Chain A
Amino acid sequence: MQENTNNIPAPEGSVTAKYPELGSGLIPVEPYISPEYFEREKKHIFKKTWLHVGRADQIPKAGDYFVADLEVCDTQIIVVRNRQGEIRAMHNVCSHRLNEIVYDKRGNTRKLFCKFHGWAYDLDGNLTGVPEENSFFNLDKSKFGLTRVACEVWQGFIFVNMEPNPAQSLEEFMKPVYGSIEGYPWDKLKEGFRWTSVVNCNWKLALDAFQEAYHVAYVHGNSIADAIDRSTSVEGMPPLDVICGDVHRRLSLAGNQKSVYGNPKAVTEGGAAAQQALSDAANARPIAAAALRAGVGSAKEQFPLDALPEGVNWTKSPNWLFDMNVIFPDFYVSLRPNYFQAYTFRPVSHDKTMVDARVFYAEMTTAGGRFFLEYMKVALRDVLLEDFSTLERTQRAAQTGVKKHMIVQDRELMVRHAYHAVERMLARGEAQEAASNQ
Chain B
Amino acid sequence: MSIVKSLPAQFAELAPYAPIWALATETERNIQRHTVGMDAIYEYSKAILPRVDEVVTFLNAIPLSDLDSKPEAMTLMQMLLSLAEIAPAVEFYKQPAVIDGYDSRRFVADETFVMSPHP
Residues of A within 8 A of B (CB): 55, 57-60, 106, 190-199, 222-223, 284-288, 290-291, 293-294, 358, 360, 363-368, 370-371, 373-375, 377-379, 381-382, 384-389, 391
Contacts and interface: CB of A to CB of B under 8 A. Distances in A.
Contacts of A366: 59-60, 64
Contacts of B102: 197, 199, 384-389, 391
A374 B83 CA distance: 9
Given A381-B107, A386-B100, A194 B113 contact: yes
A288 B60 contact: no
Given A374-B85, A385-B102, A192 B92 contact: no
B53 interface: yes
A193 B107 contact: no
Given A286-B91, A290-B52, 19 more contacts: A193-B109, A193-B116, A198-B106, A285-B91, A287-B49, A287-B91, A291-B87, A294-B53, A367-B60, A367-B62, A368-B59, A370-B81, A371-B80, A371-B83, A374-B80, A374-B84, A381-B107, A386-B101, A389-B100
Contacts of A197: 102, 106-108
Contacts of B99: 222, 386
B81 A374 contact: yes
A249 to B, nearest CB: 25
A191 B113 CA distance: 10
Given A197-B108, A290-B49, A382 B98 contact: yes
Given A222-B92, A222-B93, A378 B84 contact: yes
Contacts of A285: 87, 91
Nearest to B113: A194
Given A286-B49, A290-B53, A192 B116 contact: yes
A390 to B, nearest CB: 9
Given A287-B45, A287-B84, A371-B80, A194 B110 contact: yes
Interface residues of B, number: 42
Contact of B80 (A367, A387, A391): A367
B3 interface: no
B22 interface: no
20 contacts: A58-B114, A191-B117, A192-B116, A194-B113, A196-B108, A197-B102, A223-B88, A223-B98, A285-B91, A287-B49, A287-B91, A290-B52, A290-B56, A294-B52, A366-B60, A367-B60, A371-B81, A373-B117, A378-B88, A385-B101
A422 B87 CA distance: 40
A192 B115 contact: yes
A412 to B, nearest CB: 21
Contacts of B98: 223, 382, 385-386, 389
B56 A368 contact: yes
A396 B109 CA distance: 26
Contacts of B91: 284-288
Contacts of A388: 101-102, 107
Interface string B19-53: 00000001000000000000000000100010011
Nearest to A281: B91
Nearest to B50: A286
Contacts of A291: 84, 87
A330 to B, nearest CB: 18
Contacts of A57: 114-115
Interface in B59-104: 59-60, 62, 64, 67, 77, 80-81, 83-88, 90-93, 98-102, 104
Most buried by B among A192, A384, A385: A385
Contacts of B53: 290, 293-294
A110 B85 CA distance: 39
Contact of A196 (B64, B110, B112): B110
Contact of B88 (A360, A363, A382, A389): A382
Nearest to A219: B100
Nearest to B85: A378
Contacts of B85: 374, 378
B119 interface: yes
